[in-house]
């Protein structure tokens, strides 16, 4: 099974040309991030970009932060296993973000108080001890949450480039990408993060749309819908079906999670706190609801397309991902989408799409690194050391 999986990984269109494209993109991102570091002249600039973000830049950086490669990977997995029924998660996320923007729930008040972090509000409301305790809990949870980001993101790169899934490849990719992100984030703070996020948002958006067009051209609309209907039946389209993948309880949970994720999750709230005014925060969130919808819909569709490709055009992959057909242990279905893209995207284009996915990886990691380091510094070390 291991040799079969290695062979499946090797059948990618990724070439040296694509490596050059990826390397060039990484170099440009790093240089730009370093060039703007001179604007981080004080703590407010470093953590909150001087509280001067306009609506367009605010929407781009919020969308870039929340459209991480880990989100793309797990969302494609949802599409791979749940079909079009997974689309309801995107709708709930967009609805929750729009409600937060329209009402200003939580984020409007936080920006009006001019705090740099959420635990700073805890001290204003409950005292210093609560600030420290809240910061410890947030930082611990956030850092543990980041633990899976590196591996899942590296799985995409390994899957689409054809590198070995074992040995040196995975940890090496994880280490190199993290060092790049860490360099410009540490030196430039939120200003470097916002500027690079904006570039990464543009690259990612173009990459997602272009790849989706190629997928539809390669597989065909009718084939995609027909295959899901045949292989999954009604559960591939109806999320409330009792015997389906999701169910009404799951939908309600997604609605609640959508509200919480954009209203109190520190990495997202950090963007609200960097906006130029409380009113701009509301506009930022209302427009970002569209980005939240798209950031789920497209990866779900990619996962669905990978499912269709395996069942209609790649019978050897069916034996790997669906062992009940041929026996043996299944391969992690997180690899399905990158392997699929590696086979259908042409040389050059696959390099651009990989660069776009690395943009998604970097835009999430720089934000999270800055967010949790700011919480540790501002809300744990400073209050304790006075």
Q: Is the pLDDT of residue 37 over 70?
A: no
Mean pLDDT of the chain: 83
> What pLDDT score was predicted for residue 221?
92
Q: Is the pLDDT of residue 2 over 80?
A: no
> What pLDDT score was predicted for residue 38?
65
How does residue 184 score in pLDDT terms, banded at 50, 70 and 90?
A: low
Two tokens at 83? 């079909």
> What pLDDT score was predicted for residue 328?
66
> What pLDDT score was predicted for residue 296?
85
pLDDT 10s digits, 135-148: 999 899 888 877 77
**How many CB atoms lie under 10 A from the CB of residue 252?**
11
Determine the Cα–Cα distance for residues 2 and 125; give it in Å rounded to an integer: 56
- Average pLDDT (369-373) is 83
Q: Which long-range contacts (CB under 8 A, 24 or more apart) does 245-252 make?
A: 245/81, 245/82, 245/83, 245/85, 245/86, 246/82, 246/85, 246/86, 246/88, 251/88, 251/92
| More confident position, 150 or 92 | 92
- Average pLDDT (377-384) is 90
pLDDT 10s digits, 270-295: 878 888 888 888 988 898 888 888 87
> What pLDDT score was predicted for residue 166?
60
Q: Is the pLDDT of residue 60 over 80?
A: no
Q: Is the pLDDT of residue 51 over 70?
A: no
Residue length of the chain: 386
Q: Is the pLDDT of residue 258 over 90?
A: no
Whole-structure pTM value = 0.86
> What pLDDT score was predicted for residue 367?
76
Determine the Cα–Cα distance for residues 286 and 147; give it in Å rounded to an integer: 30
Two tokens at 5? 């999986």
């Amino acid at each position: 099974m291991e040799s079969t999986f290695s062979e499946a990984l090797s059948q990618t269109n990724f070439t040296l040309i694509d490596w050059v494209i990826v390397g060039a993109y990484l170099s440009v991102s790093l240089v730009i991030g370093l060039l703007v570091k001179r604007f981080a002249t004080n703590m407010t600039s470093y953590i909150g970009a001087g509280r001067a973000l306009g609506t367009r830049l605010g929407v781009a950086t919020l969308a870039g932060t929340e459209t991480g490669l880990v989100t793309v990977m797990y969302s494609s997995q949802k599409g791979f296993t749940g079909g079009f029924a997974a689309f309801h998660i995107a709708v709930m996320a967009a609805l929750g973000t729009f409600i937060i923007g329209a009402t200003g729930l939580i984020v409007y008040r936080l920006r009006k108080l001019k705090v740099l972090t959420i635990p700073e509000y805890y001290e204003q409301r409950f005292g210093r001890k609560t600030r420290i305790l809240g910061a410890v809990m947030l930082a611990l949870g956030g850092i543990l949450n980041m633990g899976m980001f590196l591996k899942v993101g590296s799985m995409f790169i390994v899957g689409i480039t054809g590198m070995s899934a074992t040995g040196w490849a995975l940890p090496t990719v994880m280490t190199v990408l993290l060092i790049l992100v860490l360099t410009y984030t540490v030196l430039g703070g939120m200003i470097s993060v916002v500027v690079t996020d904006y570039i990464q948002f543009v690259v990612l958006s173009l990459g997602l749309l272009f790849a989706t067009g190629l997928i539809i051209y390669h597989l065909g609309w009718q084939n995609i819908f027909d295959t899901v209907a045949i292989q999954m039946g009604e559960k591939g389209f109806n999320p409330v079906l009792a015997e389906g993948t999701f169910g009404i309880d799951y939908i309600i949970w997604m609605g609640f999670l959508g509200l919480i994720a954009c209203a109190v999750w520190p990495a997202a709230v950090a963007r609200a706190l960097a906006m130029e005014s409380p009113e701009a925060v509301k506009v930022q969130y209302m427009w970002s609801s569209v980005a939240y919808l798209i950031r789920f819909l497209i990866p779900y569709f990619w996962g669905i397309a990978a499912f269709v490709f395996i069942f209609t055009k790649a019978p050897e992959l069916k034996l790997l991902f669906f062992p009940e057909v041929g026996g043996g242990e299944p391969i992690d279905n997180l690899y399905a989408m990158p392997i699929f893209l590696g086979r259908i995207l042409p040389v050059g284009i696959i390099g651009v799409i990989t660069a776009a996915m690395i943009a998604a990886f970097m835009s999430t990691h720089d934000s999270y690194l800055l967010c949790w380091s700011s919480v540790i510094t501002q809300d744990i070390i400073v209050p304790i050391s006075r």
